[in-house]
Amino acid sequence: MALGLGELYSLAAAFCWAIAVILLKKSGESLPPFALNLVKNLLCLLALGATLLVLGPRQLPQMPPWVLAQTLISGALGIAVADTLYFRALNAIGAARMGVIGTAYSPGVILLAALFLGERLSPPQLGGVALTLAGIVLVTYTRADKAVDAALLRQGALLGVLSVVLMAAGVVLAKPVLESQDFLWVVFLRVAAGVVLMLGLATARQEWAELSAAYRGVRHWGAIVSGSLMGSYVALLFWLAGYKYADASIAAVINELAAIFIVGLAAWLLRERVTARQLAGGGLALAGVLVVVLAR
């Protein structure tokens, strides 16, 4: 069976996100995670606003109050709360462990989609999910450079899992809205809700002076802006379009390929070494995605 429109959008989202990660890898090192995430989302909001002005509709479509609330909650959970928890976990336990914890994303979407959207994967597709997750673990897992306190590790792991679950919950909440409402407005409202909550968090925690100092110290705004727009605008549109036109369970598994694309692009553009384990993991992950998409 050929890839459908939703599957192609999900594949494009994974590839565009990988490009964004490469663009931000060096240029974003001068910004703390929260500051970088806020810039990314503000740029995305401006780009989406400009897109609505050009492509329309310019007026907010009529939405039942509960649909509007569902959209805003989806954005607040997925963009502000989940990302904040993710970055706290990242600082606590490191990128290597978070890469492994991140593989809980697609199982989380599959479980929530089964509970709330009535989606079901066949036994062969579930086997494909297992292959994909095993491959991603092989690609992303590395030994930690230093020991982490056991209590801190448990706390960070819990925050990491919670962030991934909230990301999954946000996209499952958004899927029925994406299917019934204007696509661009739904994306705009989700990002707006996330930005408003992040601005509120920065105000409540009195972080504006710290954020201002971080932004003044940036040297490579061009790379940060281009990487942010690729990741938070282009990839986001493809990502949500994938969920609009494909089952959430399938789109989530295809999204996992971003880890494979990141490794490949890093090897090609940044001359980073690729190990045999990573190559084997990439092969497993690709095979798993093919099984999930084709075994229907």
Q: Which residues of the chain have pLDDT under 70?
A: 1-2, 25-29, 91, 94-96, 98-99, 142-149, 296
Q: Dihedral, CA atoms, 176, 179, 183, 186, nearest 10 degrees?
A: -20
Q: How far apart are CA 18 and CA 20, in angstroms?
A: 5
- Which region, left, alpha or beta, applies to residue 271 given φ > 0 means left and ψ of -120 to 50 means alpha? left
**Burial of 119 from C-beta contacts in 10 A (0-12 / 13-18 / 19+):** middle
Inter-residue contact 191 to 124 (CB < 8 Å) = no
pLDDT at site 144 = 55
How many CA atoms, within 13 angstroms, populate the side-chain half-sphere of residue 150?
Answer: 0
| Rounded to 5°, angle at Cα 162 from 136 and 183 | 80
pLDDT at site 99 = 67
pLDDT at site 281 = 87
Q: Dihedral, CA atoms, 225, 231, 236, 238, nearest 10 degrees?
A: 120
Torsion sign over Cα 292, 182, 36, 81: negative
* Cis check: omega of the bond before 57, within 30 degrees of 0: yes
Q: How far apart are CA 30 and CA 204, in angstroms?
A: 24
Query: pLDDT tens for residues 15-58?
Result: 998 898 788 766 556 778 788 889 989 999 999 999 999 987 88
Inter-residue contact 6 to 243 (CB < 8 Å) = yes
pLDDT at site 6 = 94
Query: pLDDT tens for residues 153-187?
Result: 788 888 888 988 999 999 999 999 999 999 999 99
Q: Write the DSSP symbol of residue 103.
A: G
How many CA atoms, within 13 angstroms, populate the side-chain half-sphere of residue 146?
Answer: 4
- Report CA Rg, the chain: 19
Helical packing angle, 235-245 and 5-27, nearest 10°: 160
Which pTM does this prediction carry?
A: 0.85
